[in-house]
Structure 1
Amino acid sequence: MTIRFRPSEPTDAAALLRVWRRAVDGTHHFLSAQDRVAIDPLVADYVGSTALRIAEKDGEVVAFMGVTGQNVDSLFIDPAAHGSGIGRSLVDEVARPTTVEVNEQNEGAVAFYKRLGFEVTSRSETDEDGRPYPLLHMRRD
């Protein structure tokens, strides 16, 4: 098994969207069907227009991370690659202190960030678009 990390390229957009869909299908059971459909084109635009960090396993894109400064904007990992250390490796590339917002209902992600040393600093009742998905604001020093 060979894992390689690299910057995204415009030609990666379709593979990145597939990773996002698999990750959300595997971890975001709390999303309503309508919200899932509404978010999909926003993510398609995001992965096609944002500089992201990609993880490839044996030549296949299996994860991506978006970062602004020291904040993890997005981190999605294909469920088939969970537990392989890819998420930890990506997050460890971000300078400290590091911040992230996590859906409170995504218990696996919350536990992942806590294992990496993140602590909850505050909570929002809704996501950034006002949807009823509480966010935990976390920080690691």
Structure 2
Amino acid sequence: MSLAITSAHAADFQSMLSLWERSVRATHHFLSEDDIVAMRPEVAAAFEAAEYIGLALRVTRDGKGRVTGFAGTMAGTMAGKLEMLFIDPECAGRGLGKRLLTHAVTELAATAVDVNEDNPAALAFYRRMGFAVASRSALDSAGRPFPLLHLKLRQAA
């Protein structure tokens, strides 16, 4: 089965935000309800500002056109940083994450990603995909007490 990865459009943002929230609830068990509610507007703002901040947003869709996953990779001065990758929990285990990450690496030159230290499944996924921990931060990018692991794509031998 062929899977198209296309650019996201403003009409996709609400679906993407809903998918983000479902995915976070399914995978980010270290976040409280208050944390998720507080982060939701930040994620929505990133979608809205994507064009202006150099965030390339890509989506996958099911046969009905419903967004099933998305990724966001920075361009410009932050080029090569995968900022987000989320899959609809109903679609987990079908290779969407692998396809989106491969697209981000091969088409958008992604070589770095941050992962919450308390999300071992995501860390294992990125390690399987060729990333290695390069450093750690005690706080997330917004200064919250959610440690981040900064991963870099290993160089091919």
1:52 to 57, 60, 71: 57
Distance in 2, matches of 1:71 and 1:129, equals 16
2: CA distance between counterparts of 1:6 and 1:138? 25
* Coordinate RMSD, CA, aligned: 1.6
Q: Which runs of 5+ in 1 are unaligned?
A: none
**Which ranges of structure 2 fall in alignment gaps of 5 or more residues?**
51-55
**Higher-RCO chain (CA-CA 8 Å, sequence separation at least 6):** 1
Q: CA deviation at 1:4?
A: 2.2
Find the counterpart in structure 1 of residue 131 from structure 2: 118
Higher helix share: 2
Residue correspondences, number: 141
Runs of 4+ in structure 1 displaced over 4 angstroms? none
Tell me the alpha carbon deviations over residues 11-43 of structure 1, each in whole angstroms, 9 at most, x when there is no partner.
111110111011001001101222211111111
* TM value normalised by structure 2: 0.83
1:81 shift after superposition: 1.4
TM-score computed with the length of structure 1 as normaliser: 0.92
Instruction: Say which is worse superposed, 46-55 or 8-17, in terms of deviation.
Output: 46-55
> What amino acid maps onto 2:4 in structure 1?
R
